[in-house]
Copies of this chain bind each other. A is one copy, B any other.
Amino acid sequence: MHKSVPNNSLKTACSTCNLRKLCLPVNLSNIEMARLDDLITRKGVYRHGSILYRSGDKFQALYAIRTGFFKTQILNEDGREQVTGFQMAGEIIGMDGISSDTHTCDAVALEDCEICEIPFNRLEDLGRELPPLQRHLHRILSREIVRDQNIMLLLGSMRAEERLAAFLLNLSQRFAVRGYSPTSFQLRMTRQEIGSYLGLKLETVSRALSHLQENKLINVRNRSLEILCLPGLQACIGKRAR
Give A contacts to B, CB under 8 Å: 74, 76-82, 84, 95-100, 104-105, 124, 127-129, 131, 134-135, 137-146, 148-153, 155-158, 196-199, 237-238, 241
Q: Which residues of B contact A197 (CB under 8 A)?
A: 156
Min CB distance A131 to B, Å, is: 7
Give Cα distance in the complex from A139 to B100, angstroms.
Answer: 7
- Knowing A151-B152, A152-B152, A199-B157, say if A141 contacts B145 (CB, 8 Å): yes
Min CB distance A95 to B, Å, is: 6
Q: Is B127 touching A134 in the complex (CB atoms < 8 A)?
A: yes
Q: Is A82 touching B124 in the complex (CB atoms < 8 A)?
A: no
Q: Which residues of B contact A77 (CB under 8 A)?
A: 238
Q: Which residues of B contact A237 (CB under 8 A)?
A: 78
- Knowing A142-B98, A199-B157, say if A74 contacts B131 (CB, 8 Å): no
Give Cα distance in the complex from A30 to B96, angstroms.
Answer: 31
- Knowing A98-B141, A139-B99, A145-B144, say if A80 contacts B153 (CB, 8 Å): yes
Of A134, A142, A150, A198, chain B has the most CB atoms within 10 Å of the CB of A142
Q: Which residues of B contact A144 (CB under 8 A)?
A: 145
